[in-house]
Amino acid sequence: MKTDMQTISWDNSNIYQNFQDLKINQDIKKIEDNTFYLKSKANIFEKLVSQLDSKKLAELEESIPLARECYRLILDTNIMIYTLKTYAHTAISVNSLNYEAKDLSSKIQKLFADISMVAKPLKLLLLRAPLAYLDNFLNDESVSEAKFDLNYARKVQHFLLGVSEEVLLEGHSVDGYHAWGKLYTELSGNMKVNVEGQQMGLADASNILFNVNREKRQTAYRAINDSWNQNGISAAAVLNALSGWRLENNRARSQKIELHYLDKSCHSEKITRETLNTLMQTTYEQRHIGQDALRLMAQEMKIEKLGPWDILAPLPVQTDHKIPFPEAMKTIYDAFEAFSPEMAEFSQMMEDKKWIDATPSENRASGAHCTGFAGAREPRVFMTYDGSMKSIITLAHEIGHAYHSWVMRDLKFSETSYSSSLAETASIFAETLVRDYLLKIAKSNQDKKAILWQEIQSAATFLVNIPARFEFEKQMLELRKIKAISIPEFKELNKKAWQSWYGDTLTEYNEMFWASKMHFSFSYTSFYNYPYLFGYLFSLGIYAKKDEYGDKFKVLYVDILRDTGTMTAENLIKKYFNEDISKSNFWLKSIKIVENAINEFKKLS
């Protein structure tokens, strides 16, 4: 464990040396050539789609060799695109003003749109052709990896438009739909916040919300909201545009039956609407547990109620001791090793190979994430490590994500794409391992409180804040069906959602959360909220089986992770534990785990 705090930066030189690397241009040229070739064949598949009703199966099947060749080319080209995209994204995360990276990112977005357009006719053929055609197509090693994806996609084939319409939508998305998401990224990345006369980036200002000093937190909170109020017109325009685009897209696809925005989201997340409804209803009925966590935090801070600037605060009574990064990695290693030596060795490899970037830097992105290089099958972790207990838990969380992708590295590329709802399975599991280990070795009640503080903060986040985001987004889309939404209306929708979930636990509601929470302004997905709640409780439900299954669980756990790319969440739990997550019992057991942790903190208090 030799890593120095000043050198926790990732090394991506095995992917590309730098942005002047000739291989970048070579790969872009290869992508363009592949796209040109696919475009030359697109009319063949487009014609077959238009003739599906009149063509006999034997005639259609004559196209299968070409279809396989083109589909394989699409898969290989996408791997190249994702590799370039990740390379640019990792650089932008470290420095949002890296113009070389931003320029490459824009090029990649256009390249991805281009290949998506020329691939549409073939994909429409595979989704609309007789099932016997698809079965024959998949009966070859070159494309067999797409079996789950294509069969799953066929479940919503009645929402597909014609070839020309699908191609047109894909083409306009770059400078239309995705341009709004890009605008938000530019806006938040370049925003300056005036905190007590000091100009700083949004990420630096947001970091103050984790400060132990309550006055500083409130000052930063007010300053951040002032900046968002000044940029409210742009933030509202982004949300109106994205919501309007999605609703109009769904309306156009609702030719046979209505495509509801939640049905579309559930399909993307590989869960049923029934499961989502059960999850949200069960959580709403148990929201007092998350509210209890908030009240307990206020009690510990010796205040009547929390302000919104207190939600992310550290434990009030703590030492100034900062945990060095090497010590944090050693803790994670030891916690993982107690469960799985392989998992521990993986965490060591992440550090040794410099696959973690955690050193504070100017114009650095806020938050933490895990990404990866599709071709090399190598994960990367990004965060800003500050030596706090929260940082250790966050680091463990992101390494958990990385481990998830690592155990799938030998699978075919199409078999490794899991939904956001299942993405938290390994991350929450990893941070729970570390938290339990820290509790086990804690030398005092104060140490235990510092660890459990992270648990009650998670309870408040996942059982209250995440559902409030979900409620806001639902109501936003309902109002957007009728009209463009004004800034006061965004604030009111936000207030009602927070009121419904937070109740009377706060002194005030964060009226600009709709603007400051970047997840609402992602263009590539909607409802980037409930999957976190799902993943939190889903992972805890799996973690609870650890002792029950004993030594067999380690192998079972890896098998579960490996199946996340080719199974729905319902089928995954049914296969391994014979439980039904469309019923409340599974979720109640997970919520009970959270309640137990809150009660443990109460005892210490």
Cα separation values, 361 from 93, 96, 325, 383, 407, Å: 10, 10, 16, 11, 31
pLDDT score of 7: 60
Residue 605, pLDDT above cutoff 60: yes
516, 228 contact by CB (below 8 A): yes
In this model, does residue 5 exceed pLDDT 60? no
pTM of the model: 0.89
Chain position carrying tokens 């003739």 = 51
Does residue 584 surpass a pLDDT of 90?
Answer: yes
CA–CA–CA angle 406, 408, 409 (5° rounding): 65
The pLDDT value recorded for residue 592 is: 95
122 vs 362, which has greater pLDDT?
122
Q: What is the pLDDT of residue 3?
A: 40
DSSP lists the bridge partners of residue 195 as 198
pLDDT grade, residue 1 (50/70/90)?
Answer: very low
Average pLDDT over residues 380-393: 90
Q: Which of 154-158, 176-180, 461-465, 556-560 has the lowest mean pLDDT?
A: 176-180
Express each pLDDT in 387-440 by its tens digit.
888 899 999 999 999 999 999 999 999 999 999 889 999 999 999 999 999 999
pLDDT band for position 174 (cuts 50, 70, 90) = confident
pLDDT above 90 coverage of the chain, percent: 78
Compute the CA torsion angle 401, 402, 405, 410 (nearest 10 deg): -160
208 vs 194: CA distance, rounded Å: 12
Statement: residue 450 has pLDDT above 90: no
Question: What pLDDT is stored for residue 271 in this prediction?
Answer: 96
- Average pLDDT of 150-171? 86
For the cut 80, the answer to whether the pLDDT of residue 476 exceeds it is yes
Sign (positive or negative) of CA dihedral 91, 93, 94, 98: positive
Buried b / exposed e over 190-223, threshold 16 CB at 10 Å, is ebebebeeeebbbbbbbbbbebeebeebbbbbeb
User: Do 264 and 250 meet the contact criterion of CB atoms below 8 Å apart?
Assistant: yes
Q: Are 560 and 542 in contact (CB under 8 A)?
A: yes
pLDDT band at 551; cut points 50, 70, 90: confident
For the ranges 157-166, 173-182, 422-431, 443-452, the maximum mean pLDDT occurs at 422-431
Q: Interhelix angle for 22-50 vs 163-173, to 10°?
A: 150
Residue 449 in contact with residue 605, Cβ under 8 Å?
A: yes
Three-state secondary structure string covering 215-262: HHHHHHHHHHHHHHHHCHHHHHHHHHHHHHHHHHHHHHHCCCCCCCHH
In this predicted structure, what is the pLDDT of residue 119?
Answer: 94
Question: In whole numbers, what is the pLDDT of the chain averaged over residues?
Answer: 93
What is the SS3 assignment for 522? Answer: coil
Q: What contacts 426, CB < 8 A, 6 or more positions away?
A: 400, 401, 403, 404, 539, 561
Report, as an integer, the average pLDDT of 550-572.
Answer: 95
HSE-up of 386 (CA within 13 Å, CB side)? 17
Averaging pLDDT over each range in 42-56, 69-83, 196-210, 249-263, which range is the top one? Answer: 69-83
- Average the pLDDT over each of 312-326, 484-498, 537-551 and give the range with the smallest value: 312-326
pLDDT reported for residue 410: 96
> Running DSSP on this structure, what letter comes out for residue 506?
B
Q: E-strand spans in 291-426?
A: 356-357, 369-373, 378-382
Dump pLDDT digits (tens) for 78-109.
Answer: 999 999 999 999 999 999 889 999 999 999 98
- Mean predicted confidence (pLDDT) in 179-203: 89
196: left (phi over 0), alpha (psi -120 to 50) or beta: left
Mean pLDDT in residue range 286-315 = 96
Q: What are phi and psi of 340, to 5 degrees?
A: -150, 115
pLDDT given at position 2: 39
